[in-house]
Structure 1
Amino acid sequence: MSMVDQFLWVIFPYMCMVVFVVGHIYRYRVDQFSWTAKSSEFIEKKQLRIGSMMFHLGVMPVIAGHIVGLGIPKSWMHAIGVTDHMYHFGAQYIGAIFGFLTLGGMVILTSRRFTHKGVRRLSSVSDRLVNVLLLFIVLMGLYSTIFAGKSVEPAFDYRSTISVWFRDLLILRPDPLYMLQVPITFKIHILSGFLIFALWPFTRLVHVWSVPLNYVGRSYILYRKNRKH
């Protein structure tokens, strides 16, 4: 095992987690006024509505699928009567439906971000980066799950490799050996996923943690200028 493997599958994930937590605390304490998403709905509504609806309808089941696939051991699934065939059917076919729905939403939102003149002018560099990175993560995840595992390494089972590594990561004893034989597309998907967590506190993604109740009782109104980048 090389030092590169040690960095990628032990050090880098923890670095991203630390930045995620500390970055949120820092931004909330020193920059609360930016804790929101800059709305571009008044500039263009149709693509935003369609793309956002597709993305949110797709991404919630995708996240749930990741939680089940990474967090629940195969033996636990067998104990409740979920066979490997049943699990893989759900992951391959049902997961693909929501994956493509998510991908379609991200394609629309990313295209809107770059091609609509008014939206592009309102967007910051971090806004564009987030859109491109999210699109890339979704695309790589979808490709890995549906195509790469079967065509590149048919016997590959991420629940016996990636999932075990991830659960060990959470209990602070990761073993990078589990990741050595993982197909490259899965590795790229995982690393880019950790990267988006590291970038999260410094982008518009922080608005995920906000709810309308946060604005009740505020005595200030925040005005933004439309600045060119």
Structure 2
Amino acid sequence: MNLINQFIWVIFPYLCMATFVVGHIFRYRYDQFNWTAKSSEFIEKKQLMIGSLLFHVGIIPVIMGHIAGLGIPKSWMNAIGVNDHLYHMGAMYVGGLFGVFTLAGMLLLTARRLTTKTVRRLSSTSDMIVNLLLLFIVFMGMFSTLVTNKVQPEFDYRDTISIWFRNLVIFRPEASYMVDVPLSFQIHILAGFLIFALWPFTRLVHVWSVPLNYVRRSYILYRKHRQH
């Protein structure tokens, strides 16, 4: 069992992150032509606009909350006056609200990809996998926050998951912190690492393509052709 825990909570995360880094380098060097979001807006716009808006409005605060919860030690929060009760209320209600936005957006985007015939035909296998996996990750995150935390109120992920994660980052991994973590949290975390491993080989790479040159590019002039 100890070897299994070592693989799941030490080797697997490092394999996923190594794949994430090396995969991006390889993709950028040898497959820049396909480094794109492959927008399907011209096929169906309304559901895409609503779903994408909900997802992005939700996911950015959710990511920031994850960074704060995993990266900032519990003692530091207490030192600035954020006690356990205040922190958990914020995570439950503020995090839950943005989680609902994210989940609603993913449900709409996934339904659009599966039910709109033309969009489905243009979708690759990786598109389907990413959509369904992201939906699953968001669902498990919401389940962990709203259900598991209610059923097991004594569990505080900052005493287990956060410490495990910070140790992982500084290359001093300790799998024992994750052994007694509730199953829903474990599944959420493992699925999260899996999406990082798949990231370089999917359209998710478009996240890094910020059009910085757009703000300083010259205007494009269109001239009407005059027939003589």
Give structure 1 stretches of 5+ with no counterpart: 218-229
Structure 2 counterpart SS, 1:166? helix
Cα deviation digits, residues 46-90 of structure 1 (max 9, x gap): 000000000000000000100010000011011111111110000
Residue 52 of structure 1 corresponds to 52
Give, in whole Å, the separation in 1 of the partners of 2:149 and 2:101: 21
Aligned ranges 1:200-219 → 2 under 5 Å: 200-213=199-212
- Does residue 1:107 correspond to 2:107, yes or no? yes
2: distance between equivalents of 1:134 and 1:125?
14
Q: Which of structure 1's runs of 4+ aligned residues deviate more than 6 A?
A: 214-217
Task: Work out the CA distance in 2 between the residues paired with 1:145 and 1:212.
Answer: 35
Correspondence for 2:64: 64
Give the deviation of 1:149 after TM superposition: 2.6
Q: CA deviation at 1:211?
A: 1.8
Q: Residue 164 of structure 1 aligns with which residue? A: 163
Opposite residue 47 of structure 1, the aligned amino acid is Q
Q: Distance in 2 between matches of 1:130 and 1:180?
A: 28
> Paired residue for 1:23?
23
Instruction: Name which one, 1 or 2, has greater alpha-carbon Rg.
Output: 2
Extract unaligned runs of 5+ from structure 2: 219-228
> Structure 1 CA distance, aligned partners of 2:112 and 2:211?
25
* Deviation for aligned residue 1:194: 0.1
Structure 1, residues 111-157: CA drift from partner, whole Å, max 9, x if none? Answer: 00010001001100000100000000000001001111321x33111
Correspondence for 1:147: 147
The equivalent of 1:96 in structure 2 is 96
Identity in percent: 69
Q: Secondary structure at the match of 2:172?
A: coil
Aligned partner of residue 16 in structure 2, secondary structure: helix
CA displacement at 1:214 relative to structure 2: 6.3
| Alpha-carbon contact 1:200-1:206 (below 8 Å) kept | yes
Aligned residues, how many?
Answer: 216
Distance 2:172 2:165 in 1: 10
* CA distance in structure 1 between the partners assigned to 2:204 and 2:46 by the alignment: 21
Q: Give the aligned partner of residue 3 of structure 1.
A: 3
> Aligned partners of 1:214 and 1:19: how far apart in 2?
29
- The structural deviation recorded for 1:212 is 2.3
> Is this contact kept in 2: 1:62–1:99, CA < 8 A?
yes
Change (3 A) 1:70 1:24: same
The letter of the residue matching 2:58 is G
- Whichever residue aligns with residue 134 of structure 1, its letter is L
- 1:223 — aligned with what? none
Paired residues of 1:149 and 1:183 also in contact (CA < 8 A): no
Q: Does the alignment pair 1:77 with 2:57?
A: no
Distance in 1, matches of 2:29 and 2:36, equals 14
